[in-house]
Each structure stands twice: as C-alpha cells, then as structure tokens.
Amino acid sequence: MDLLVKISIVLLMGILGGRIAKVLHLPSVTGYLLGGLLIGPSFANVVTDHDIHNFEIINEIALAAIAFSIGSEFHIKDLAKVGSKIFIVTLVQAFATIIAVFSVSYFMLNQSFELSILLGAIAAATAPAATTMVIKQYKANGPLTRTILPVVAIDDAVCVMAFGLAMAVVKMTAGSAADVSLLSMLAHPVIEIIGSLAVGFIIGVLLVFLGNKASNQEELIGMVLALIIAGGGLAHTFHLSPILLCMMIGATITNLMRNPRRAFDGLSSFTPPIYLFFFTLAGAGLHLNVLGKLGYLGVGYIVARAIGKIAGSAIGAKAVGYPDTIVKYLGLGLLPQAGVAIGLAMVAKQQLPEMGGMLSTVVLGGVFVYEIIGPVCAKIAIQKAGEMNTDTIDPEPNYI
C-alpha cells in the first residue's frame, strides 16, 4: 500500500482510538496506542515493522519536542530551591526499582547475576512522553504535576548512568574485563550525560540568539523545530541521549530567552498531529506475541518494577518532606515505559548476545504492559491528587 495512505490511516486511526478512549474515560494516549496496536503487525498488519522504521523521523521529532517542552519546567531559581530534593527523590526511586527488580530476579527466580542487574537498570527507565501527554490532556497543575516532570527528566540521566554501571559490572564478571578498564567503562555514561547537556546548551544559546531575531510567531516555530530536530540528529550521530539533549535546549531558553513562553506555545501549536502520529505508531510497534513469551521472569519483572517505583518514590518523597499527595501518588505517575528501555535492551543484546534474547523478551513485554497501563496509572495519580483541571475533563478536552 502507498506510504501516504498509511500515514493517513495512522492519523485517522489515532483519532478514532482517542475518541473511544474518551468514551471509556481513559487518557487519549492509551487510545492512540490501542488504535495503533490494531493496525500494527499484531492484528491488521496495515502498518508493518518496515513502515515503522520508515517513519522514524517523525518519532524523533515527537520525542525531541516532548523533551524540549519538559525543559520549560527547569527555572534556575526554582532549581536552586528544590533541585536537590527532586534529585534525591529521583535517585531513591531509581535505586529502589533496581533493587526490587534485581532481588526478584536473582533471589526469587534464580536468574543469573548479570541478567538480573541489567534488568534492574533497564527497569529504572521511564518514558517522559506518555506522562507529559496525560498532564497536558487534563491540564493538570499542582505540586505532584510539578514534581513528576522533572523527576522523569532527571531519571533519564540516572538511568543512563545505572545502565552504564550495570554493563561495566557485567563485563567484569563475564571475564572480558582484561581488555576494558573499569575507568573507561564508567567514563562512557558520564561523557554521554555531560555531552548531551553541553550540546543541548549550545543549541539552546543558538536558539535564544535566533529566536530573538524572529519577526513573528511562525518564524519562531520554524526555528525551534529546526533546532530540536538538529538536536535529535546530533544525539544520534554522537551517541548522546536525545531526551537529555533536547530537554537542555528547553531549559536553556527558559532561563536565557526574553520571552520563552512564545517558543513553547508556538511549538505546541505545531505538535498535535506529530504527537498523535507518534503514539499511534508506537502502538503499532507493540507486538502482542511478546506477552505470551513473558513467563515467570517477565511477570516478576513487571510486578517488581511497579513496587520499586511506587515504594521508592514514597520513601524518597517522605525523606525530603514532600506533601502526602506526592508521597502517595508520585510512583504511579512514573510507570510509563517506552523507547528508552527498548533502546537499552537493544544495546545489551548487541554487546552480550548470550543473554540478550532473554533480556529483550522481558523488557519488550514490560514495555507492552507499561505503555498501555502507564498512562492510565498517571491519570489516576493526578486525579487522586486532585490536580486535574475539572472543567476540561468533560465534555471536550482541548487536546486531541
């Protein structure tokens, strides 16, 4: 079938899914994903894995735009005040998740140490996209909302670090350590994080410079778009994190630009079709058959991750003295998982082929489950925390 027709099918199916989700009181994101699932290889196979690969650029743009918009939450002044608290909470929940998944896999299910530690590190990853969408759809605002986004963002850096460490440990114990020193293994994630932030900062400064020259809103949208796409492209060329990098672009202009709201609002008028396409395509990329292969380990992984995220967030939030709503519901908002986890699993599979098959099966199963139920949990979290903007839930959210 023609590529253009497929694009239109993805868009229209996404809208249909969103519509059905509204009837069922689910977040739109879940609707797009389910709509995509129906046209993907699991069911109709209208959109094949090959097509999904062809549309890669739209995914990159969507992720870049989402990360960029999260960057708008990082005001230097606020960060100085609450930054260390958020950082601690992020660390605690990530660490708790790693411990929980590792323990279940290693002690309860008798898996190898290497596999367990890698699963733990990948379990810590969260997907910023779905959570951001849910927050936007319900126009949520409040202490919980303002905590979730930065935590998700910083979690990306923490996860890069944790995964790098886990890989280093695994390679050591696997005995191939002779040719790789611990230092160089550790330097790798550090370089990735610092490099992402540095490149993001430079692009951000460039955007500030160009943006102040833009004569109208449309031109500004064009510039923002061009630079965040460039950020995503550079991240891939130099093996940096596109999420961290684009987030840093957003954070830089938030703090340096005269009127940063213009840039963010401008971009958000361009993004609805891209986001819808992105999520529907992500749904099409889910393979139902991974669920059948999950086994005990998969189920254990999924349950342990949820426990780790929820308990870890609660402990961390309590420790830094956050209000009860955050203690109770932060973890629920951190459950979505998507591309980052898959990407890490692929890296592990490439470098450690002997355990990679098992690892990626478990991770893909986890992504399937968390991608579908994650947004629903996030919705419940902000609903229970009373941070939904009630007059927009019904009848017609302004978002798609």
Q: Evaluate whether 181 touches 135 at the Cβ level (below 8 Å).
A: no
Q: Which of 11-19, 89-97, 117-125, 310-318 is the region at the interface with another protein (rule: CB under 8 A)? A: 11-19
Minimum CB distance to another protein, residue 18 (Å): 8
Residues 368-397 as x/- pattern, contact with another protein by CB under 8 A: ----------------------------x-
- Residue 7 in contact with another protein, rule: CB under 8 A: yes
Q: How far is the CB of 376 from another protein (least distance, A)?
A: 21
What DSSP letter does each residue of 257-272 carry, written as one string?
A: SSSHHHHHHHHHHH-H
Nearest partner of 247 among 207, 208, 200, 203, judged by Cα = 200
Sign of CA dihedral 46, 291, 121, 124: positive
Cα-based distances in Å from 173 to 55, 109, 161, 180 = 39, 20, 19, 12
- Give burial (CB, 10 Å; 0-12/13-18/19+) of 116: buried
Q: Given the complex with another protein, which of 94 and 400 has the nearer CB atom?
A: 400
Asked if 12 interacts with another protein (CB under 8 A), we say: yes
11 binds another protein (CB under 8 A): yes
Minimum distance between the CB of residue 266 and another protein, rounded to whole angstroms?
9
Phi, psi at residue 186, to the nearest 5°? Answer: -75, -30
Report if residue 234 touches another protein, rule: CB under 8 A: yes
DSSP 3-state assignment of 25? coil
With binding defined as CB under 8 A, does residue 110 bind another protein?
no
Cα(278)–Cα(38) distance, integer angstroms? 15
- Interface with another protein, residue 213, by CB under 8 A: yes
Rounded Cα distance between 165 and 193, Å, is 13
Only one of the segments 41-49, 50-58, 149-157, 287-295 lies at the binding site for another protein (rule: CB under 8 A); that segment is: 50-58
Tell me if 6 contacts another protein by CB under 8 A: yes
Residues that bind another protein (CB under 8 A): 1-9, 11-12, 14-15, 18, 54, 56-57, 60-61, 213, 215, 218-219, 221-223, 225-227, 229-230, 232-234, 236-237, 269-270, 272-273, 276, 396, 398-400
